[in-house]
């Protein structure tokens, strides 16, 4: 096959690895805030849930801004491959340097920088998949890349927990900083190669294909606003649940620090399996019916979270959260798949940068909002139940947007073809 197309799946697997490692970076703080020595190092009180949540929010704000602002430049001027390498070097360096920051403000700034470095990754991955896979076959590659989300969280909780228990809190920053560079950069150099017809970014730049022109075209993508709103609600569940899950299991459900690590990973393994299944399901569905994935899966997530906060048995609550993540994972590949279907090849990186960037900016405030709800309740346990209850609201938004998208696509399909 031409243009290295026979190697396209190696590029997909590489992107899957990058996403997995990046998600370990992201939830590193979620585990560390359960450690008294880490909180003392940065000058935080263990009861200050809002400030703890802001550490995740700072990352997401940097991530969202970068995804929107830097992605068009990265895709048009630098190209997918070079942008990924620069990003890996930046986020590896930011992670490695974090233990040297002895104040909350500096650590907050480092999380923002880490978010900026990681911001374009999903949009660049979407550009790679759009270049190599048609709309009828993009479910599986999107599912493989998105599997990195669940696997990164599943491996991250016990890995960081183990390093925290045996080597100290700073060891996780050093290990992850080195891993980003030593593993990520060689994989990208070896396997992420764009086809020649979309790979020559500098030629496109010299021919007058400006960043502004790319952005304007991307903003005209059909259903862009609707998918962006839906993505914001979708990611709000991920960031709210993943950042507070270790603390929820420890404080609200009474699990030990050792149990908390592997129990927190179980919902993420469910996500990994579900994302893979979702990719195969999407490729078997008529394109107009793909929005139904959002409808049915959001109902499953909402009902599962409702069960988790109502049951008394802590293992039943954990099982319900596993089910919630399974339903969440099932619809995960549908988001980039729909964006790739609607956007043109030259616009997909910027279009998905807007979708993922705005969605991440909104979702980034969910950990802080949940932190406020947790801190404002009469008891810590009640606070966590109220905080996790807020996640149900995110699924109501996904449900409404999914229905609107489904109805809109049915109307388009029902319109008669123009006469020739």
Whether pLDDT at 15 is above 90: yes
Domain that holds residue 407: 2-414
Mean local confidence (pLDDT), 50-58: 84
Q: pLDDT value at position 416? A: 61
Q: Which is more confident, 356 or 329? A: 329
Instruction: Give domain status of residue 9, yes or no.
Output: yes
Instruction: Give domain status of residue 420, yes or no.
Output: no
The token duo for 190 is 């070896």
- Read off the pLDDT of residues 72-93 as tens digits, 9 standing for 90 and up: 788 777 888 999 999 999 989 9
C-alpha dihedral, 99 to 101 to 104 to 107, nearest 10°? -70
Whether pLDDT at 128 is above 80: yes
Q: How many CB atoms lie within 10 A of CB 165?
A: 13
Mean local confidence (pLDDT), 132-144: 86
Mean local confidence (pLDDT), 250-256: 77
Average per-residue pLDDT for the chain? 85
Q: Which of 260-264, 339-343, 401-405 has the highest mean pLDDT?
A: 401-405
Phi, psi of 76 (to 5 degrees): -85, -40
With left for phi above 0 and alpha for psi between -120 and 50, is residue 208 left, alpha or beta?
Answer: left
Looking at the structure of the chain, the number of domains it has is 1
Mean local confidence (pLDDT), 10-34: 88
Mean local confidence (pLDDT), 291-296: 95
Whether pLDDT at 2 is above 70: no
Does residue 261 contact residue 382 with C-beta atoms inside 8 Å? no
Instruction: Give domain status of residue 93, yes or no.
Output: yes
From 135-144, 236-245, 249-258, the region with the lowest mean pLDDT: 249-258
pLDDT category of residue 17 using cuts at 50, 70 and 90: very high
Q: How far is it, in rounded angstroms, from Cα 278 to Cα 281?
A: 5
The token duo for 376 is 């404002």
Q: How far is it, in rounded angstroms, from Cα 319 to Cα 324?
A: 9
Q: pLDDT value at position 203? A: 46
Percent of the chain with pLDDT over 70: 92
- Read off the pLDDT of residues 172-223 as tens digits, 9 standing for 90 and up: 999 999 999 999 999 999 999 888 765 444 444 444 456 677 677 777 888 8
Tell me the helix, strand and coil percentages in the chain, rounded to 5: 85, 0, 15
Q: What CATH code is carried by the domain that includes residue 261?
A: 1.20.1250.20
Q: pLDDT value at position 232? A: 95
With left for phi above 0 and alpha for psi between -120 and 50, is residue 223 left, alpha or beta?
Answer: left
The alpha helices in 104-223, defined as continuous H runs, are 104-118, 121-132, 139-166, 170-179, 185-191, 196-199, 201-206, 211-219
Q: Which is more confident, 67 or 294? A: 294
- Read off the pLDDT of residues 91-110 as tens digits, 9 standing for 90 and up: 899 999 999 988 899 999 99
- Read off the pLDDT of residues 409-420 as tens digits, 9 standing for 90 and up: 887 766 664 544
Q: How far is it, in rounded angstroms, from Cα 43 to Cα 84?
A: 34
pLDDT category of residue 326 using cuts at 50, 70 and 90: very high
Does residue 205 contact residue 82 with C-beta atoms inside 8 Å? no
Whether pLDDT at 299 is above 50: yes
Instruction: Give domain status of residue 419, yes or no.
Output: no
Q: pLDDT value at position 207? A: 45
- Read off the pLDDT of residues 151-163 as tens digits, 9 standing for 90 and up: 887 888 788 888 8
What is 194-262 written as a DSSP string? --HHHH-HHHHHHTT--HHHHHHHHHTSTTHHHHHHHHHHHHHHHHHHHHHHHHIIIIIS---HHHHHH
Q: Which is more confident, 50 or 275? A: 275
């Amino acid at each position: 096959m031409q243009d290295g197309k026979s190697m396209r799946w190696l590029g997909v697997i590489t992107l899957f690895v990058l996403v997995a490692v990046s998600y370990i970076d992201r939830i590193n703080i979620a585990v560390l805030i359960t450690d008294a020595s880490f909180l003392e190092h940065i000058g935080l009180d263990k009861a200050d849930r809002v400030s703890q949540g802001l550490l995740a929010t700072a990352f997401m704000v940097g991530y969202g801004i970068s995804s929107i602002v830097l992605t068009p430049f990265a895709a048009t001027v630098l190209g997918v491959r070079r942008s990924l390498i620069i990003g890996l070097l930046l986020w590896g360096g930011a992670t490695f340097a974090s233990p040297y920051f002895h104040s909350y403000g500096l650590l907050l700034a480092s999380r923002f920088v880490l978010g900026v470095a990681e911001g374009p990754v999903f949009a660049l991955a979407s550009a790679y998949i759009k270049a190599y896979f048609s709309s009828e076959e993009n479910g599986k590659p999107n599912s493989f890349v998105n599997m990195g989300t669940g696997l990164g969280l599943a491996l991250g909780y016990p890995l960081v927990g183990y390093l925290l228990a045996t080597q100290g809190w700073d060891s996780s920053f050093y290990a992850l900083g080195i891993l980003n560079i030593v593993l990520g950069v060689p994989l990208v150099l070896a396997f992420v190669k764009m086809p020649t017809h979309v790979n020559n970014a500098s030629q496109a730049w010299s021919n007058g294909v400006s960043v502004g022109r790319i952005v304007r075209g991307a903003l005209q993508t059909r259903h862009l606003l609707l998918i962006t709103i839906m993505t914001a609600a979708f990611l709000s569940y991920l960031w709210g649940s993943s950042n507070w899950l270790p603390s929820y299991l420890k404080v609200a459900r009474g699990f030990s620090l050792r149990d908390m690590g592997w129990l927190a990973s179980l919902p993420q393994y469910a996500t990994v399996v579900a994302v893979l299944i979702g990719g195969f399901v999407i490729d078997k569905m008529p394109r107009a019916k793909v929005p139904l994935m959002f409808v049915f899966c959001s109902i499953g997530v909402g009902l599962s979270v409702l069960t988790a906060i109502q049951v008394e048995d802590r293992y039943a609550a954990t099982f319900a959260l596993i089910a919630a993540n399974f339903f969440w994972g099932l619809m995960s590949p549908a988001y980039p798949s729909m964006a790739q279907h609607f956007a043109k090849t030259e616009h997909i990186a910027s279009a998905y940068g807007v979708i993922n960037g705005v969605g991440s900016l909104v979702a980034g405030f969910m950990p802080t909002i949940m932190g406020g709800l947790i801190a404002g309740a009469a008891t810590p346990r009640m606070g966590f139940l109220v905080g996790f209850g807020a996640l149900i609201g995110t699924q109501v938004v996904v449900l409404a947007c999914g229905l609107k998208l489904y109805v809109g696509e049915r109307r388009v399909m029902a319109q008669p073809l123009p006469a020739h």
